[in-house]
Amino acid sequence: MGACGQNHLGYPQLDIVEAEQSCGPSGNSPMWRSLDELAGDPRVMALARREFPSLLDRLVDAPSRREFLRLMGASLALAGLEGCIRQPEEKIVPYVRAPEQIIPGKPLYYATAMTHGGASLGLLVESQMGRPVKVEGNPLHPAVPEVMSKANDATKSSLRFGATDAFAQAIVLSLYDPDRSQTVIHAGQIDTWESFYTQLRERLEKDTTTGGAGLRVLSEAVISPTLVDQIEALLKRFPGAKWHQYEPINEDAAIAGARLAFGASIVPSYDLAQADVILSLDADFLVDGPQRLVDGRAFAERRKVGGANAGSMNRLYMVETGRTQTGAVADHRLAVGPREVIQFTWAIAAAFGLQSAKSRFSEVIGVSQSWIDVVVGDLRKSRGRSVVLAGRMQPPVVHALAHWLNQALGNIGTTVTYRDPIVARAELNSESMRELTEGVRAGEVSTLIMLGGNPAYNAPAELKFGEVLAGVPFTVHLSEYVDETSAQCGWHIPAAHLLESWSDTRAADSTASIVQPLIAPLYGGKTSHELVAALLGDPDAKSHDLVRGYWERWHQRRGASDSFDAIWRTALHDGVVAGTQMPPVIRTLRPDIANALEHELDAINELPNAELQIAFRPDPSVWDGRFANNGWLQELPRPFSKLTWNNAVLVSPATAAEHSLKSGDVVEIVISSGSVKLPVVVVPGHPRQTVTVHIGYGRTAAGRIGNSVGVNIYPLRTSDAPWFAGIDRLKKTGTRVNLATTQHHHLLEGRNLIRTGTLAEFVAAPQHPKFMDVDEDTNPQESLYPQREWAGYQWGMVVNQSACFGCNACVVACQAENNVPIVGADQVSRGREMHWLRIDNYYDGSPDDPETYHQPMLCMHCEMAPCEVVCPVAATTHSDEGLNEMTYNRCVGTRYCSNNCPYKVRRFNFFDYNAELRENATMQLRPNPDVTVRSRGVMEKCTYCVQRINEARITTEKQDRTIHDGEIVTACQAACPAEALTFGNLNEATSAVAQLAKSSLNYSVLGELNTRPRTTHLAVVRNPNPALRHTSDESTT
């Protein structure tokens, strides 16, 4: 096996050519999950079929008989000892004075808001006796869609949850991160806030004489109204001071595009519920953007067919330069390079009569005319009911063209509205940063205050900001971690975590939310408000007073008669400040827009046109690097690559074949700004014109989790080429690394686990779509096991695969709710990841441009569960409510159940992954007290969040009533923005889950095994344009 190249696991790596050949052009080949499986390499298949691939290594050197007896003897003796130990004596410690409202054992929920991706996200955070343990969405917030809203309306439910994303779910882990900065640091030494303030005052007194000419404030994009107010006061106090904003993942192109089209920095927002046809120009709008959750919900609602929804399905055309989650659910997807996106957009605009477009792109390279004609035809048919979106990576001209197209299509006012930006200053981040750096180089800056951010790590490479920092005499960095920037600064101030802070923020429509703390700062962190207050001469100001003070003044300005106290309390309770929403703005396009676009285009045409371009993308897990020390996010399998704990170059099968690359090969990429060495992951469907790298890795001062994970890409990223750069040379280095991916871990074995069809097929026979007929007999068969009566509550779940867009929010939500440990890269590569819920990718078609499907897979709670009958100690049993229960304290770890599980959803604790909980007092605060923290040697799996079921049952039993539909939402269901997961009582005919279980699209995965799963799936229905048959040779030339 050594000759074919393998990682230490023994997975031989596949030859990409083999994969393509074995696929064949017929299009009748079965679906596949990984390229290796597609190629059907018998060596890979044999290894992948092993449940735990690494056991092979362990058994190679059989222990000698003597050693075996010694080990057995020792473990038997220990086992005996353990049983004899009496229960340890415990203390019970009550309060001295009990705080109001806290009932031990009952959680409290507090509304707060997180700022991410340029706007706020309303959160409801669960507090267990003062410890924040779980994040849910706040459905009263405009950016958060409600979960089970229909059922909640019907039952007047008081506790309502909204959706969240993976980042929001993970913040509770960051809160208890022991690596967070715990003290003020001055020149590498521990110092105090008081001595900081003394020196700051001296420094500012000097600055006052010059009007603060040497004072600079650098912040991330500031949305907080209070902070804006404070910084403005600061600028008034020091008229010579300047304020800069920088974030590496910014909206520069969108701002410039809006200026180009409208002459103003206005921001579009979309109503996807009204859009019949969506054209996305490299916009990953389902997972990125200020409205991602409501957009995702609106989109997903239009993807759900069955019942009354038969004809209302939308159609998504995606033109993209990489692989995105949005692209994966598109009806038609065009994988191209950045140039082709511009050309394509221009061609579409020309078809709608953009004057002066001339015949510049009479022929769009790489895109067939039929594709363009079809898109134009569909858009033309849906005037006023279509949307054109442009992604943040696309240049201003594409954004401007999207605005122009939306106007030409009559979408403005219906599906597209514009608003003033919520960020305090809609300025170009890269220019602001460049201006600051130039100021420092010119010696103009004597005091630099950095409110968060990590510019030494992520500023544009050519600025060399980390080096420049040393030239500033007085530098202050407020940060949650002593990071790369803190190391370069005179002063480091520990920042309070979001869940420890008072602040405020705004949603995309300007609706303000108060950020309220769930817990006092664990490490004495300060907020930006407190640091700016110190700059203004008040070192003892409390954020609470500053924020409340701001809103009190706002209230007085409004001149409303009601008491502020009531408004403040309502705002804290609801998570939104009533009356802060701003109406849309109405602006018309610049009359000279055509000329302006032409001009832009000329500039773009002059750019060097490399054949292969590198695309720098925000990372789906660590974003710009800020979440690098969050283990949940690091271990989250990235979409498509299923890579954990690393970044890699994602390349197309064509590129891989050209350079004879296999996943795991390290390549050197040389571009004009530098070079980088990274392992390759071959991703089916990746455009051949680009390779994708994710930024945010290679941190050197992130903490124990995030340090030296992956490779830092920022040194390649310049202000001129923030998203794309031409590759001069891509060279195979000859070294290979072992990538911790979860892609191989569970294989299809040639079975039809996922069923797919088109809307046309569904409409033709809505009661029994033809694509639901597959070879296997999935009707319940006679069983040898005793039949049971299923009375009372019978829990079940339906997964709508048409709605799922693979955002991973459910995976992290499950991890947070159920105390699922992280295991690290090495363990993941041995197939020991612990996620109870995974999202499998399935591909159909040629590796160059396959259809992609997401399948959330969790314990199916089979009525005839194969795992239960093989357990020798009855640790996994069936409850009379249909749950497949796992009793940890009974489990002896034979792993027979996992062996017998056809869905591979059981996870085994090979090590004591939670050991750190016992040693670290801070980490001990994190786990959900309603769920057992499992120890080594125990099998675990999805329980349908039985703790939530029990809680609801107890609550309703006390009220002498039954559980309403929607009263129990599982953690994954609560997090899902698409409402792809529905949980409830199958015995209640009107429940949402029972309705979906009756759908003609409903099927049981591996139903032919007669396991009778309680979790069933709905077939994927797509809505392709009949005029554009999906074949790879037609979509690209």
Cβ closest to other proteins, residue 428 vs residue 946: 946
What radius of gyration do the chain's Cα atoms show?
A: 29
Any contact of residue 103 with other proteins (CB under 8 A)?
A: yes
The residue (of 66 and 97) whose beta carbon lies closer to other proteins is 97
User: Which CB, 376 or 933, lies closer to other proteins?
Assistant: 933
**Shortest Cβ distance from residue 815 to other proteins (Å)?**
16
Q: Taking CB under 8 A as the rule, does residue 109 contact other proteins?
A: no
- What's the closest the beta carbon of residue 832 comes to other proteins, in angstroms? 23
Give CA–CA dist 397/193, Å, rounded: 48
d(CA 320, CA 333): 7
Q: What is the DSSP letter of 99?
A: P
> Could you report how far apart the first and last alpha carbons of the chain are, in Å?
38
The SS3 call for residue 657 is: helix
Residue 27 binds other proteins, judged by CB under 8 A: no
List beta partners, residue 448. Answer: 216, 475
CB nearer other proteins, residue 888 or residue 911: 888
Q: Is 94 in the site for other proteins (CB under 8 A)?
A: yes
Q: Pick the binder of other proteins from 605, 879, 990, 1037 (CB under 8 A).
A: 879
Q: How far apart are CA 682 and CA 34, in angstroms?
A: 10
Least distance to other proteins from the beta carbon of 129, Å? 10
Query: What minimum distance in Å lies between the beta carbon of 951 and other proteins?
Result: 9
Report the site for other proteins in 909-968 (rule: CB under 8 A): 930-932, 943, 946-947, 949-950, 954, 957-958, 960
Min dist CB 174 to other proteins, Å, is 26
Q: Are 785 and 863 in contact (CB under 8 A)?
A: no
Q: Is residue 791 near other proteins by the rule CB under 8 A?
A: no
SS3 at position 828: helix
Nearer to other proteins, 83 or 1026 (CB): 83
Retrieve residue 60's tokens.
């190679």
Closest to other proteins by CB, 312 vs 956, is 956
Site size with other proteins, rule: CB under 8 A: 38
Task: Look up residue 548 and give its two tokens.
Answer: 């409340």
Residue 127 near other proteins by CB under 8 A: no
CA atoms of 593 and 262, how far apart (whole Å): 8
Determine the Cα–Cα distance for residues 590 and 261; give it in Å rounded to an integer. 6
Residue placing its CB nearer to other proteins in the complex, 143 or 883: 883
Biggest distance spanned by C-alpha atoms of the chain:
91
The amino acid occupying position 469 is L
Q: Tokens 């409303």 map to which residue?
A: 560
Read off the amino acid at residue 601.
L
Tell me: does residue 93 bind other proteins (CB under 8 A): yes
- Helix (H) or strand (E) segment spanning residue 21: helix 16-23
Residue from 66, 97, 156, 557 that binds other proteins (CB under 8 A)? 97
Distance of closest approach, residue 95 Cβ to other proteins, in angstroms: 4
Say if CB 885 and CB 861 are below 8 A apart. Answer: no
| Closer of 258 and 942 to other proteins (Cβ) | 942
Query: Can you read off the two tokens belonging to residue 400?
Result: 């401007």
The answer to whether residue 91 forms part of the interface with other proteins (CB under 8 A) is: yes
Q: Which helix (H) or strand (E) holds 294?
A: helix 292-301
Q: CB–CB of 744/690 below 8 Å?
A: no
CB under 8 A: which stretch of 81-89, 115-123, 492-500, 859-867 binds other proteins? 81-89
DSSP code per residue over 534-585 = HHTT-TT--HHHHHHHHHHHHHHHHT--S-HHHHHHHHHHHSS-TT---PPB
- The yes or no reply on residue 887 touching other proteins (CB under 8 A) is yes
Q: Which is nearer to other proteins, 193 or 795 (CB)?
A: 795
Q: Rounded distance, CA 257 to CA 719, Å?
A: 16
Which lies closer to other proteins via its Cβ, residue 388 or residue 886? Answer: 886
Check binding of 81 to other proteins (CB under 8 A): no
Asked if 840 interacts with other proteins (CB under 8 A), we say no
Q: For 324-389, what is the HEC assignment?
A: CHHHHCCCEEEECCHHHHHHHHHHHHHHCCCCCCCCCCCCCCCCCHHHHHHHHHHHHHCCCCEEEE
Contact status: 986 vs other proteins (CB under 8 A): no
Taking the C-alpha atoms of residue 982 and residue 969, their distance in angstroms, rounded to an integer, is 8
> Closest separation between CB of residue 103 and other proteins, Å?
5
Q: Does 130 bind other proteins (CB under 8 A)?
A: no
Q: Among 51-59, 83-91, 584-592, 652-660, which window interacts with other proteins (CB under 8 A)?
A: 83-91
Question: Which residues are registered as beta bridge partners of 838?
Answer: 857
Beta carbons of 639 and 328 less than 8 angstroms apart: yes
811: helix, coil or strand?
helix
| 665-671 and 512-515 beta bridge pairing | unpaired
Q: Which of 2, 64, 66, 89 binds other proteins (CB under 8 A)?
A: 89
What is the rounded distance in angstroms from the CA atom of residue 174 to the CA atom of residue 499?
10
- Tell me which residues in 848-877 interact with other proteins (CB under 8 A): 877
Q: Which stretch binds other proteins (CB under 8 A): 101-109, 213-221, 397-405, 449-457?
A: 101-109
90 touching other proteins, by CB under 8 A: yes
- Contact flag: residue 104 with other proteins (CB under 8 A): yes
Residue 272 sits at φ, ψ, to 5 deg, of -70, -15
| 97 vs 557 by CB, closer to other proteins | 97
3-state DSSP of 929-947: CCCCCCCCCCEECCCCCHH
Interface with other proteins, residue 101, by CB under 8 A: no
The residue range among 484-492, 881-889, 903-911, 972-980 that interacts with other proteins, by the rule CB under 8 A, is 881-889
Choice between 96 and 190, CB closer to other proteins: 96
Rounded to an integer, what distance in angstroms lies between the CA atom of residue 678 and that of residue 381? 46
Please state the closest distance from residue 987 (CB atom) to other proteins, in A: 16
- Choosing from 52, 109, 352, 888, the residue that interacts with other proteins (CB under 8 A) is 888
Exposed / middle / buried, residue 773 (Cβ in 10 Å: 0-12, 13-18, 19+): exposed
- Binding piece for other proteins, criterion CB under 8 A, among 104-112, 173-181, 540-548, 1014-1022: 104-112
CB 697 within 8 A of CB 628: yes
Report the C-alpha gap between 343 and 341 in whole angstroms. 5
User: Least distance from C-beta 957 to other proteins, angstroms?
Assistant: 6
Residue 368 contacts residue 375 (beta carbons within 8 Å): no
Q: Looking at 880, 916, 1033, 1034, which residue binds other proteins (CB under 8 A)? A: 880
Q: How far is the CB of 635 from other proteins (least distance, A)?
A: 23
The binder of other proteins chosen from 2, 42, 105, 786 (CB under 8 A): 105
Helix axes 369-381, 338-351, angle to 10 degrees: 50
In the bound state with other proteins, the residue whose beta carbon lies nearer, of 267 and 897, is 897
The single residue among 62, 608, 889, 919 that binds other proteins, judged by CB under 8 A, is 889
If one asks whether residue 86 binds other proteins (CB under 8 A), the answer comes out as yes
Q: Tell which one of 64, 87, 362, 779 touches other proteins (CB under 8 A).
A: 87
Q: Which is nearer to other proteins, 677 or 936 (CB)?
A: 936
- Smallest gap, in angstroms, from Cβ of residue 656 to other proteins? 46
- Distance, in Å, from the CA atom of 671 to the CA atom of 383, rounded to the nearest integer, reads 43
Nearest approach in angstroms of CB 94 to other proteins is 4
Instruction: Find the shortest distance in angstroms from Cβ 106 to other proteins.
Output: 5
Least distance in angstroms from the C-beta of 932 to other proteins? 5
- Binding footprint of other proteins on the chain (CB under 8 A): 86-87, 89-98, 103-106, 877, 879-881, 883, 885, 887-890, 930-932, 943, 946-947, 949-950, 954, 957-958, 960
